Amino acid sequence: MTMNPDDNQDADRFWRTQNGHDLAYRQITDDGPTVLWLGGFKSDMTGTKAQVLADMAQHAGFGFVRFDYFGHGATGGDWNAARVGLWRQDVLEVVDNLTQGPLVVIGSSMGGWMTTLLMKDRSKRIKGVGFIAPAPDFTHELMLPNLNPEERHALTVSGAFVMTGYDQDVAMSQAFFDEARDHLVFGTPLAFDGPVRILHGMKDDVVPWSHGVKLAEHISGDDVRLTLIKDGDHRLSGPQDLELLTAMVQELINA
């Protein structure tokens, strides 16, 4: 499959990856930088924030790409085979094969981790970065330290525990956590000189806002701004939150 610059239909399309799975994506092409949406853990590309940016792209005239990682949404796949490194490769497949020119990358929750990895892997392609409740290294910084005794016992005894709170229960294996260790980013400073904007809700009960502060401190560049929304939750999908999101994207496009 090749990219067709003349096809602006924002509908599901598929890219056959080097790993052999068909990656579902949607794309709007236009002049100027392309906005790349990197969604969160167990979310898909049809979520509220991604759709708002797609509508914005249609009206404002900029490129926009969103996709579903392996094991997510329309891409599907065996969840037991999902790994952080596989999702990292999914991002590179999209960037290298479905985009051209400068990118404005917007990472939400786990997509924030994917964004930091892309800042390492393809820094020269990135014009600016926006984060929404970013969760870099969530496996080892947030998830493992907060396991309850039953989950910790299950992980130790059977090599997996079941995580609730999603549309369907999610099995999390020790193999997943072991592989994720190879992609942690907080061990060394993240070098990036372009503009970085972070939105984080102070009522986020999934990724604490202190994690957003830690990320801001971790990035080496000076043009880093963190906006804390006092009544904001993890999703940041209320009308005022979405206004902040679209304003952030427009600022990064114009930077």
Q: How far apart are CA 63 and CA 199, in angstroms?
A: 22
User: Cα–chain-centroid distance for residue 107?
Assistant: 4
Where in the chain are the domains?
13-138+186-254
| Residue 18 in tokens | 């080097």
Beta strands in the chain (DSSP E): 13-16, 22-28, 34-38, 63-67, 103-108, 126-132, 160-163, 170-173, 196-201, 224-229
What pLDDT shows up at residue 166? 80
Q: How far apart are CA 217 and CA 196, in angstroms?
A: 12
Q: How confident is the model at residue 3 (pLDDT cuts 50, 70, 90)?
A: very low
pLDDT per position as a tens digit, 160-174: 999 987 878 899 999
Q: How confident is the model at residue 194 (pLDDT cuts 50, 70, 90)?
A: very high
* β-sheet bridge partners, residue 162: 171
pTM of the model: 0.95
Compute the mean pLDDT over every residue in the chain, rounded to the nearest whole number: 95
What pLDDT shows up at residue 11? 86
pLDDT per position as a tens digit, 118-137: 999 999 999 999 999 999 99
CATH 3.40.50.1820, applies to 13-138+186-254? yes
What pLDDT shows up at residue 167? 77
Q: How confident is the model at residue 9 (pLDDT cuts 50, 70, 90)?
A: low
3-state secondary structure of 199: strand
| C-alpha distance from residue 19 to each of 1, 71, 81, 86, 92 (Å) | 15, 13, 12, 8, 12
pLDDT per position as a tens digit, 97-120: 999 999 999 999 999 999 999 999
pLDDT at 6 over 50: no
Q: Which secondary structure element, helix H or strand E, spans residue 148, and what is its range?
A: none
* β-sheet bridge partners, residue 126: 103
Average pLDDT over residues 206-221: 97
Neighbours of 11 (CB within 10 A): 7
201 closest CA partner among 173, 181, 229, 226: 229
pLDDT per position as a tens digit, 19-60: 999 999 999 999 889 999 999 999 999 999 999 999 999 999
Average pLDDT over residues 142-152: 96
